[in-house]
Chains A and B, each alone.
Chain A
């Protein structure tokens, strides 16, 4: 009888786990008291724990912003480090509440993976890293080269498309984790390493001799990276989407962590609506009216987060480029809060 009891327990446990998915995510998050965020295992600038074990990065900041909006407390978030190939399963199964792991928004991910991408928090594109000693000036010279690539990414498919379109060949070496992939490149197994350009700059720092490696000029794909949630929970999708837009709006209006308290007295109607001193926009999201104030107070606006994690204030020193505000020639644009 013991084993039948076990099977009954296991059966009902599975039912329970999958059953939990259907409840409203915001209520679930509120009742457990923290946000469970799917993050990168270790990608400098986007999501990785620092030597003290504190998670840092652009994606990590985003999770903290969501936690601030819900709980007024950026620390009420737990991170689940995920390999590329496990991330959507973790999202579907309800293991995580939001997937914020430099994940590319594609049509098939929207339609077949049951994922919903709310916004784009980083516009990226795929590039190549090669050793300077190989004397390669363009990705088109990579005919016959061995390329290290991470499994389960859009990268793997873009790579094939690029070589096929240019009628050149390559030999793939495919690893499940980004660290193994990079290590194989570093040890000389591969002639080139490919991932999103932002990742290339971050991963280059982990190589034994970063200065001996160069990023090729070609960007071979569009990689809009953004936070994803499960489909069918519009309230939750709105919170994720508007968290990003609040951060962008704050940058547009010049609201920063430092001046947000002063800005509460601002007479600018855009700022008043953003910070909740006019209208009840936060309540419409199922949050408090000062949700955006909490985000800016605790995490900062989009520009601050960008500069701190991947921009001039970080080791990566990535220029704003496409990720600048629309008003400054970039692609970051927030719909109005009204």
Chain B
């Protein structure tokens, strides 16, 4: 029957065949987009070479000739442009990763506070979200940086015994100096950590098996804090503190926390936390009220209810939009270039682009970097999301 019907179908001309049509349209589309990009690129390159500008990455190993104030790898004015790129990239990653971590914590706190039954707390959280997310991040960054510039100057501050100075250059603190034998303390800390993890698992299994609870807090203090401190004293105090020494303009060396870094971090965290708070609130609201009621009927406290019942279920709703916020924060970190924080855009797409004038390769690389960071972030978050997803059997 079915075969007969098929044979009866009238033959359609390829022109009207929906399959062929779809293929042709899509091929044409790909061709046009590809050609557009190709034409734009070759045209720009030939246009530039006509003006005597050769597009190449030949500058990569040349001497940069400028210093960078905030760096986590070795960089002097004699380093190469390539090294300058890595300095900028690392700064971007550092401010983004720390920013994501802090914004998540602040966002969860504010999100949960918004749902608090305490009128004052929920109103403060409400206004925090309403004000912060409705003001452009750039303006907040400039405001924060400007406020910080008005901290007392390093020259106005008198030397004190604590060795902690908050100046408009940043926070200067005593720094640890590791002498011979200080490795022992590190190993003691590591050993304590491993022992604690072992104990924690044992205690957890015991609780599941027998219902008896063990004191984790005290053991934590003993193994991870007191044990390394004891080793520190026994080994003859091999770590000492170097106090900041006042110079004519500032203190010796770089600030422990530089003002531009703090301003960039604060701006990103405060702004993104407002959005995360709303994501968290939405997630919690999505958990049906019956769950909370059932939890309290079982005798769980409000805290336990939140931690064990509500948040794990809310997580499934929270994760996808949370990923978006993480990506936003990473991309928004480029705005910190305006307040003189030497991240990728400031160093590479700013100074390096200017000195070499290789706009096309430099901007291309910069875009590729943000694309890569964003793809890695969303890959990790998707993997996490899949682990958290409801397993349907």
Contact = CB atoms under 8 A, between A and B. Distances in A.
A152 B351 CA distance: 5
B29 to A, nearest CB: 5
Interface stretch (B109-117, B120-128, B208-216, B334-342): B334-342
12 contacts: A1-B29, A4-B33, A7-B36, A14-B44, A85-B354, A92-B48, A111-B52, A113-B53, A152-B351, A184-B340, A187-B168, A232-B52
B355 A157 contact: yes
Interface string A4-42: 100110111011001101100000000000000000000
Contacts of B278: none
Mostly, the B contact residues are helix
B153 interface: yes
Please provide the 6 A-B residue pairs with the shortest distance between their CB atoms, ordered closest to farther: A11-B36, A114-B51, A152-B354, A187-B149, A18-B47, A114-B53
Contacts of B35: 11
B250 A156 contact: no
Interface stretch (A74-82, A171-179, A195-203, A311-319): A171-179
B359 interface: yes
A22 B168 contact: no
Interface in B13-40: 25, 28-29, 32-33, 35-37, 39-40
Contact of B254 (A157, A160, A171, A180): A171
Interface in B34-75: 35-37, 39-40, 43-44, 47-48, 50-54, 65-69
Interface of B: 25, 28-29, 32-33, 35-37, 39-40, 43-44, 47-48, 50-54, 65-69, 77, 146, 149-150, 153, 155, 168-169, 247-250, 254, 259-260, 337-338, 340, 342, 346, 350-351, 353-357, 359
Contact of B149 (A1, A84, A184): A184
A3 interface: yes
A68 to B, nearest CB: 27
A183 B339 CA distance: 11
B40 A14 contact: yes
Interface residues of A, number: 55
Given A88-B357, A144-B248, A231-B51, A156 B32 contact: no
Given A18-B44, A144-B248, 4 more contacts: A152-B353, A171-B254, A188-B150, A189-B149
A161 B66 CA distance: 9
A7 B340 contact: no
Contacts of B342: 174
Interface in A78-122: 84-85, 88-89, 92, 111-114
A174 B357 contact: no
B39 A157 contact: no
Nearest to B354: A152
Contact of A143 (B69, B248, B356): B248
A174 B150 contact: no
Interface of A: 1, 3-4, 7-8, 10-12, 14-15, 18-19, 21-22, 84-85, 88-89, 92, 111-114, 134, 141-146, 151-153, 156-157, 160-161, 164, 170-176, 180, 183-184, 187-189, 191, 230-232
A85 B338 CA distance: 13
Given A151-B350, A189-B149, A189-B259, A112 B36 contact: no
